[in-house]
Amino acid sequence: MPDIFTEFKVKDLSIKNRVVMPAMCMYSSDESGQVRDFHLLHYTTRAMGGTGLIILEATAVERRGRISGNDLGIWEDSQIEGLKKLVDEVHRDGAKIGIQLAHAGRKNETFEDVIAPSPLLFNLKYRTPREMTQEDITAVIEAFGRAALRALKAGFDYIELHGAHGYLINEFLSPVTNERKDGYGGGAANRVRLLKEVTAKVREHWPEEKPLGLRVSAYEYEAGGNTPEDVSFMINLVKDEGIDLINVSSGGVVDSPIEVFPGYQIRYGTEVKSKTNLPVIVGGLLEHHHMANEIIRNNRGDLIFLGRELLRNPYWVLQASRKLGMEEVVWPRQYEKAKGNKLMR
């Protein structure tokens, strides 16, 4: 029976344990979108702390696809070098690293061209987006493709498409934000079309043996919004384009309140897992090692993500290995003396 310290394999990627750091925007770059010293320190600390897979924060495939003016970017070749350095340093510390390719759509706060499937406002903090033309759609698909090639050149192990939290792909998937009358709007088969075309384009550049993931908002906390059943249906329409892993989140599509509690999204993940037959990353307010382990041991998900807990405690995995008595877990050589209580001189 697997537990959080069991290796996980998907395509050519082997992850040493089941603990994932999900994408978390750090808003620590600038207009250039380049990797800064902060990013190197931040991500390598989590790698030294034993995290199996680190997913780099939402990284914009187009300048107008940024959330803020401080997002990381992968919209031009000059950004590859910094990303490659980050990948190499995280690898040196024993973790695998993926990148979340993102387009903010109507949740772009940078006061550039704001685009979305339909001209609907999220809330007063944002501007009303312009309805995308076919030209815009083609440009976005191409941008995802070029970003995938850059991610390959930078050496990433994994790509995750950001299809959650009300950003551009999610805006197409959701009936609440997509009122298009063309082939990209209407029924689920049309709403998933942008994602399908993005996936196919990414797969032209991202080799078949490398895993490609998708983050979804499986529940929208809004009448008429997508449910785990709807989202699973759409994943099943697109997975043959080459999707290997689903990272199950929720919300962010509309500005409605979410009632959170430890494990609040796990049931959505388990449902998506059973309805799509794809492995899932699940999480949401996870903190306790026994609870994290229970999810894997009961097969409610294949991997768990720890977001804010890994911001609080980059050494969560090493500490969990002590608490769970997992002596065989390998610690960084420099920290080995902290593994047990016996003082070795």
Of 98, 129, 145, 284, which one interacts with ligand FMN (CB under 6 A)?
Answer: 284
Which one of 87-95, 118-126, 140-148, 283-291 is the stretch in contact with ligand FMN (CB under 6 A)?
Answer: 283-291
* Helices and strands of the chain, counted as H and E runs: 11, 13
- How many CB atoms are closer than 10 A to CB 163? 31
Q: Cα separation of 36 and 33, whole Å?
A: 9
Q: Which helix (H) or strand (E) holds 229?
A: helix 228-238
- Report 28-47 residues binding ligand FMN (CB under 6 A): none
Q: Does 2 bind ligand FMN (CB under 6 A)?
A: no
Using DSSP, state whether 140 is helix, strand or coil. Answer: helix
How remote is the C-alpha of 62 from its chain's centroid? Answer: 17
Of 4, 15, 47, 58, which one interacts with ligand FMN (CB under 6 A)?
Answer: 58
Of 269, 283, 301, 314, which one interacts with ligand FMN (CB under 6 A)?
Answer: 283
25 vs 254, beta carbon nearer ligand FMN:
25
41 vs 330, beta carbon nearer ligand FMN:
41
How remote is the C-alpha of 270 from its chain's centroid? Answer: 17
- The beta strands (E) that lie in 25-134 are given as 53-60, 72-73, 96-102, 115-116, 130-131
140 vs 218, beta carbon nearer ligand FMN:
218
Residue 20: partners with Cβ closer than 8 Å, 6 or more residues away: 51, 52, 53, 54, 55, 247, 281, 283, 303, 304, 305, 306
Q: How far is the CB of 334 from ligand FMN (least distance, A)?
A: 27
Q: Does 280 bind ligand FMN (CB under 6 A)?
A: no
- Report 299-328 residues binding ligand FMN (CB under 6 A): 306-309
Tell me the per-residue interface mask from 178 to 217 with ligand FMN, x by CB under 6 A, - otherwise.
-------------------------------------x--
Q: Which helix (H) or strand (E) holds 36?
A: none
260 vs 338, beta carbon nearer ligand FMN:
260
Cβ-proximal residue to ligand FMN, closest one: 307
Residue 26: partners with Cβ closer than 8 Å, 6 or more residues away: 38, 39, 42, 57
27 vs 335, beta carbon nearer ligand FMN:
27
Q: Does 57 bind ligand FMN (CB under 6 A)?
A: yes
What are the residues binding ligand FMN (CB under 6 A)?
A: 22-25, 57-58, 100, 162, 164-165, 215, 249, 283-286, 306-309
